[in-house]
Structures are given as C-alpha cells and as structure tokens.
Amino acid sequence: MTTSSPRVIVALDFSDPMHALALVDRLDPRGCAVKVGKEMFVAGGPEPVRWMVRRGFNVFLDLKFHDIPNTVAQACAAATRLGVWMLDVHAAGGRAMLSAARAAVNDTAAEEGVSRPLLIAVTVLTSLSDADLHEQGCAETAGAQAVRLARMTQACGLDGVVCSAAEAPAMRETLGPAFKLITPGIRPAGSAPDDQARIITPDAAVAMGADYLVVGRPITRAADPLAALAAINVSLGVAA
C-alpha cells in the first residue's frame, strides 16, 4: 500500500465558494489534496473546480453519483473532462451502474487525452451505525456490508472505496494492496466528533491501511488551518 500523492484531502465544505477558494489560495498542493462536495458544487458550479485544477491541486469531486447507469456514466464523463483527480459513485447503485461509470471514465480520458481519474465507490456512510442499517432492513453490520460492497466494486474495475478506517484492515486483507482506501471521519486527538459516528485519528487510520484521509472541520474551522494541516502531516511522518 503506497501513494505518492498527499495523503490528506481537505474537505472544502463551504456554502460560499469564495471562502473555500480563499483557503485553497493559502494551501500548497504538495501538502494536501482538496475535496469538493455537494454543498460547494451546487453553490459554485464547476468553475471553482477548474480553478483548483489549474492551480495544481488534486481535486476529489465528491458528488456520490447514484442513478441509472446511463445517467451516472454521463456525469462521470463530465467530471473527467473537468480534470479531477478522483470522483465517486455509490456502490449501492449496483454492478451495471459501476461498470458504466468505469467505461465512461476510461473512454472520456482517452478521448480528451487526459489522465484517467481515480474512480471510487462509497460503501457505507460513516454517519451510519449498525442500528441505522438494521432500521433500513440490512441484517449485516456496517463493516460486513462495507466489505461486501467493496468486493463488488473491485470486481467492476473501480480503483477503490470510501470506507471507515475501522473497515480498512479487512479491506486490505480481502482486496489487496493496490485497491485504494479513502477514509472520512478523521479527527485528530482531542477533536470533536461532529456528526461522524465512526471516527479515528490520522496516524491510526494509516496504520490500519488507509491510503487517503479526508479531513474537514478540524482543518477548515481551526483557528489556524495551515497549522492544523501541518500538524496532521507531521503526525503522518510528512515534513511540515
């Protein structure tokens, strides 16, 4: 399990894209990637993504596409044309949807002459507990459900999954070292859990097999965001 890209992905969960861009303007693309989710994308559209790509940032477009296969394929093609580094879909969309997404990303990257972005799938949201899944009719634990969906994702040719770090050891054992594991719910020691039900510290997540760590409020709402990011990188053995 190796990666040459920054491990930390800063989640830009801002309602005002200008606030996000002001923060990004202070960041170094060698020290972090950035994540654009639904709130910011709906508010600002694709242009902030293009701006960050031009600035040299690895951009994770976190829109969690989940629809009929053709609709998801077209959305993935559009994301690929934006030049993003990573995008995601919901594994619960099924094999046909996952396969259509994979084909769309491959074909569009070849047509545009750009690098193929990583295509990953969301397994079980880290805000969901076992009790939440049982209420929805799922008899499996969150961990078992996540591994089952990850196996299907890998079989459809995707690059990795979003999962809780708690599931990472089982994912590694089952899916091998090349499959990418992206873990949200990351909180440095002493941070508030906010709305995450399953959280873990950055160094513990990497030790458990995570490739990339999604960190939002502990950085973006810190009194000194750059210092907060630097402290996380130092905890991971990366020079500040």
Among all residues, which ones are annotated catalytic? 64
Please give the Cα distance from 89 to 139 (Å, whole number): 23
How many CB atoms are closer than 10 A to CB 116? 15
Among 133, 113, 134, which residue's Cα sits nearest to residue 125? 133
Sign of CA dihedral 217, 8, 91, 208: negative
Please, is 20 exposed, middle or buried when counting C-beta atoms within 10 Å of its C-beta (0-12, 13-18, 19+)?
Answer: buried
CB 154 within 8 A of CB 179: yes
Measured CA to CA, the distance from residue 66 to residue 188 in angstroms comes to 31
